[in-house]
Structure 1
Amino acid sequence: MNATIAERLAWVAVDWGSSNLRAWAMADDGQVLAHAGSERGMLSLAPAEYEAELLRVIGNWLPATGRVPVRVCGMAGARQGWREAAYLPVPTRLDGLARGAVTPPVSDPRLEISLLPGLCQHPDDSGRTFDVMRGEETQLAGLAAREPGFSGAVCLPGTHAKWARLEGGELCRFETFLTGELYQLLASHSVLAHSLGDDDPTHPASREAFVDAVRDAVAAPQAFSARLFGIRAQDLLDARLPAGEARRARLAARLSGLVIGLELSEVCRELPRDSVVTLIGAESLCARYALALDALEMASQRLDAGAAVLAGLGLAHAALSG
């Protein structure tokens, strides 16, 4: 046991995804005392294994006696997770996620576990479609906690990119795009795999290829499939392209620009031109989306994903402890 952490520990924040978990030891004043993680997410755990895995990661922080609140967001609350925390429907206030929290059974008396719910959406006359999120809602709650009354468009890039509309701290609607997964499928399991390498968005040639592709996809989304095959044809025929890895990187940047551009072609139809899009996610992905939005003359700002999830879990902790 780490005596210094145990003496100051007020609660534990946990973001438990499909592939890994991240945990933070939190003091009463909001200071992060320690952080740890594991590569055992929902996909590699049975319900009966969650407690042992959590204790393996945070057990060294816990005091010998007393109960420690552990607030968990993400896939631990999925149907296939530790225990299901049912989806709450939107529209919903983001400071009210704690009302859907559930408590799984535990054997260690030091643990007081709360699993936060995800959010779901059903179709209606306003254009909403069937959709779900689990984990991202806590990051959105973190944004609302850091900027009370926030209104605007929020993008959470990732394997499944989420776009959300917030009004005064309420999540009104959201939409999920399969953009990251689509890129991986095309890059790894299509004819394009023969032409692609790892693109570097900081390299001028890759940046140019990415920006041009974003604009192409937004200008003519109906031509997306033809533009895709054009990547393979360009590799075979375009003598202007550099050789070797530089060639493969440039073509990979074009694919990335096309799939993100296709996403933006839908989103930007409803966004006012003077919108400032808030990006929440990994720095590299947010930088790519910021570049794509800039190519369309749209502004963006960024909130670190870790800071957002901690703020959101802190909001839930305050509600559950009140």
Structure 2
Amino acid sequence: MTDKSDNVGKRLAWIAADWGSSNLRVWAMDGDDRVIDRARSEKGMLALSPAEYEAELLRLVNDWLPERTVRVVVCGMAGARQGWQEAAYLALPAALDRLSQAAVRPRMQDQRLEVVILPGASQRALDGSGFDVMRGEETQLAGLLATAPGFTGLACLPGTHSKWARLDDGALTRFATYLTGELYELLAGHSVLRHSVTPDLDDEACRDAFRQAVRESVDQPERFTNALFTLRARDLLDTTLPGGERRGQLLGARLSGLVIGQELADATRNLPRDEPVTLIGGAVLTRRYTQALEALERPCTILDGDAAVLAGLTLAHRTLTD
């Protein structure tokens, strides 16, 4: 062991882990639930068979481990059907401060590890269109509860598959998933629009183009596919746009605004104008969604995604310990 890892081992109380489709993040936690070290792997669920999970976890945390059993609290795709061991979805309404009660414990070969995998959440159709699932986001929502016990309101978790979740007195009561991030990538990289758009910049001109497209998409969601094709037509015909790379950036900002606006058109349709939305995620996406909500004159607050997942994992660890 290095001096650093030896010191971590002396202070280590438990390990928090977020195991997604494409990566694994782990945090060494002390007895006061503070982070004392962290590590990351690019081997998420898509790169592993169930028999390989323990070895990959050990590769990251082995130098932290003392000669005693350490609990590892895991959220995310490790609990999927194709993951390490399936942790069945919780049906709604789900008390997010009690996620650990439905956790599963895979059998370990290394007795220094006690792994606890948290469940996801599922929603069955109420009107023929309400089937939905989440795995990982429920722990971030539990982190919101850790910072605001008994929270009631609407939260948005932007991402490849954005989630909008309604919480009532600390329970997850309904949610909806939007394929927004994946749709943007498909359109920008694999459709005819790839010839016209490039990633936009966070400058005033691109922000203006983005906000205008958000408003257009919310005001007229039925024109969505037509609005998409006009991006290509404008590239070919609009002499008011600048040339070169700048042209692609402005059109890219409009594309982003159109797809996010389409999401907001539905997600905020019945939302009172003065009700705030809590955004949970990384800095880039929460900033983009803040701009979109500001374009619609809707208030929002931000909770860092890493802070939320750590708070949620910590809450689960504490309920296991109590």
Give 1:321 shift: 1.7
Alignment of 1:190-269 (within 5 A): 190-200=191-201, 202-269=202-269
1:167 positional shift:
1.0
Deviation at 1:148, TM superposition (A): 0.4
SS, match of residue 14 in structure 1: strand
Distance of 2:118 and 2:94 partners within structure 1: 14
**SS of 1:30 mapped into structure 2:** coil
8 Å Cα contact 1:148/1:169 also seen in 2? yes
Q: What is the count of residue pairs matched by the alignment?
A: 319
Which secondary structure state, in structure 1, belongs to the residue aligned with residue 308 of structure 2? Answer: helix
Per-residue deviation at 1:164? 0.3
SS of structure 2 residue aligned to 1:104? coil
| Cα distance in 2, alignment partners of residues 259 and 25 from structure 1 | 38
| Structure 2 residue matching 1:270: 3-state secondary structure | coil
Q: Which among 36, 40, 50 is matched to residue 47 of structure 1?
A: 50
Q: Post-superposition shift, 1:282?
A: 1.2
Distance in 1, Cα, partners of 2:186 & 2:207: 22
Alpha-carbon RMSD across the aligned residues, in angstroms, is: 0.9
Deviations 1:140-196 (A, max 9, x none): 000001110111110000000000001111111000000000001111111100001
| Structure 1: distance between partners of 2:27 and 2:244 | 44
Could you tell me how far apart the structure 1 residues matched to 2:20 and 2:180 are? 19
Cα offsets for 1:87-127 (capped at 9, x unmatched):
010111111111110011111010000000000001226x8
Amino acid at match of 2:119: P
What corresponds to 1:157 in structure 2? 158
**What is the match of residue 89 of structure 1?**
91
Distance 1:83 1:270 in 2: 38
The CA deviation string for residues 210-250 of structure 1, in whole angstroms up to 9 with x for no partner, is: 00100000010000010000000000000110111110000
Deviation, structure 1 residue 34: 0.3
- Give the TM-score of the pair, scaled to structure 2: 0.98
Distance in structure 1 (CA, Å) of the matches to 2:287 and 2:242: 25
Report SS of the residue matched to 2:15.
strand
Q: Distance in 1 between matches of 2:270 and 2:12?
A: 45
Counterpart code for 1:203: D
Q: In the alignment, is residue 115 of structure 1 matched against residue 101 of structure 2?
A: no
Q: Which residue of 2 aligns with 1:174?
A: 175
| Corresponding residue of 1:76 | 78
Q: Does the 8 A contact of 1:12 with 1:24 survive in 2?
A: yes
Q: Secondary structure at the match of 2:240?
A: coil
Matched residue type, 1:170 = A
Structure 2 distance, partners of 1:204, 1:243, is 18
Amino acid aligned to 1:207 = R
Structure 2 distance, partners of 1:304, 1:229, is 35
Cα deviation, residue 128, structure 1: 7.0
Q: Which runs of 5+ in 1 are unaligned?
A: none
Alignment of 1:54-65 (within 5 A): 54-63=57-66, 65=67
User: 1: CA distance between counterparts of 2:293 and 2:272?
Assistant: 13
Structure-1 residue corresponding to 2:32? 29
CA distance in 2, matches of 1:306, 1:128: 31
Output one character per residue of 1:47-73: Cα deviation in whole Å (capped at 9) or x when no partner.
11101100111111101x110000000
Off by >4 Å, runs of 4+ in structure 1: none
Alignment partner of 1:297: what SS?
Answer: coil
Aligned-partner Cα distance in 2 for 1:277–1:293: 9
- Which position in structure 2 is the counterpart of 1:319? 319
